[in-house]
Amino acid sequence: MQQRTLGNAGPVVSAIGLGCMGFSQGYGAVDDDESVAAIHTAIDSGATLFDTAQSYGGGHNERLLARALRGAGPQVRVATKFGIVRGADGVHLDAKPERVREYCDASLARLGREVIDLYYLHRVDPEVPIAETIGAMAELVRAGKVRNLGVSEVNPEQLAQAAAVHPIAAVQFEWSMLWREPERDVVPAARELGAGLVPYSPLGRGLLTATLTSETVTTSDFRRNDPRFAGENLASNMSRVEALRALADRLGITPGQLALTWLLAQGPDVAPIPGSRRAARIVENLAAASIELGADDRAELDKIVADGWAGDRQSFAAHGTSRSDALSSDIDHV
């Protein structure tokens, strides 16, 4: 597995990591033993970046990851996030500076680790200036509890405000062939500040795998409520997926691998984190890091991507929408 560095002096990680949210929420019933086995498969396949959050399963995901990574070795890098709080009373945002150390200590305890390799602000709390939250996170670095800081779903202005307080090693956001809006603003802003790029949902919430059916769309809350998976938009996007499938078939790879290969080719600072609960799918995704496309194949793929996709994604608070939108968008990996 090729390695990439996040940020100017951030962690060195596998070119493709593993988004772990699905082991705890978003996709129905889970089996912890199967999840641990799948994570072990990821390690055996070369993954070193494992992404979780305090909100995933209300802490279950971090505890599961601790179990799975026990004895995994020093090459493993753990990223976790705070700012979305999920509990018996519902879900809310909280990035108050006075709570940051408490959240970090709780994550460290659940993860069974002495230090977090990459600690993200999961979502900006609209009630707290981001500079104040980052200031409290920087204290964690000085205390030796955290090695590197990251931010998730921020706009360029918020990113600049964060970086003015402490170096930001990574910016996490949705980016794929299906959703290229970040290329207009967040990507260049992050590169100007020397932050690495960690795309979640790099497979277009499953659409770019060419395995979705109308049933899998209608039975999934986060897809059913996404405009890209509705009506004429879905029909249009499915037709583009067929073009993706045709190219992938000719190359002897899967559509999902082709989508990840395209994303990796956007720059050496890109490290996507696709998620899956299936060991075979994890192996497939990670194998994309070793695929190289010829010039003609890249040109054909560029045509498919340039044609555009139908529908806007669900909005996030970082883009000026409501708190409820930000919380409902806690789907970070597929």
219 pLDDT more than 90: no
Rounded to a whole number of angstroms, the CA Rg of the chain reads 19
Tell me which of 309 and 178 has the higher pLDDT.
178
DSSP annotation of 94 reads -
Dist CA 253 CA 255 (whole Å): 7
Q: What pTM was estimated for this model as a whole?
A: 0.90
Distance CA 70, CA 189 (A): 37
CA distance 85 to 170: 21
Q: How confident is the model at residue 332 (pLDDT cuts 50, 70, 90)?
A: low
75-104 mean pLDDT = 94
Please give the mean pLDDT across all residues of the chain.
88
Residue of 302, 306, 270 whose CA lies nearest to 289: 270
pLDDT band at 87 (very low <50, low <70, confident <90, very high): confident
Could you say which DSSP state residue 38 is in?
A: H
Q: Calculate mean pLDDT across residues 160-171.
A: 98
Percent of the chain with pLDDT over 90: 68
Tokens of 110: 């659940």
- Which letter does DSSP use for residue 312 in this model? P
Q: Per this entry, what is the length of the chain? A: 334
For residue 237, the model assigns a pLDDT of 77
Distance of CA 67 to the CA centre of its chain: 21
Q: Please check the confidence at residue 5 and state whether its pLDDT lies above 60.
A: yes
Residue range 3-328, CATH number: 3.20.20.100
CA distance 157 to 185: 10
Q: Which residues of 206-238 are buried (b: 16+ CB within 10 A; e: fewer)?
A: bbbbbebeeeebeebebbeebebbeeebbebbb
* pLDDT tens profile 21-59: 989 976 667 889 999 999 999 999 999 999 999 999 999
Say which of 56, 103, 120, 200 is annotated catalytic.
56
Is the model's pLDDT at 142 over the cut of 80? yes
Asked if residues 48 and 76 have their Cβ atoms less than 8 Å apart, the reply is: yes
Least confident of 72-81, 107-116, 141-150, 208-217: 208-217
Mean pLDDT of 86-111: 94
Yes or no: say if 111 and 80 are a contact pair by the CB < 8 Å rule: yes
pLDDT greater than 60 at residue 210: yes
Question: What is the reported pLDDT for 149?
Answer: 98
Residues 227-254: pLDDT tens digits? Answer: 677 667 777 777 788 889 999 999 999 9
> Where do the domains of the chain lie?
3-328
Classify strands 84-87 and 90-93 as parallel, antiparallel or unpaired.
Answer: antiparallel
120 catalytic residue (yes or no): no
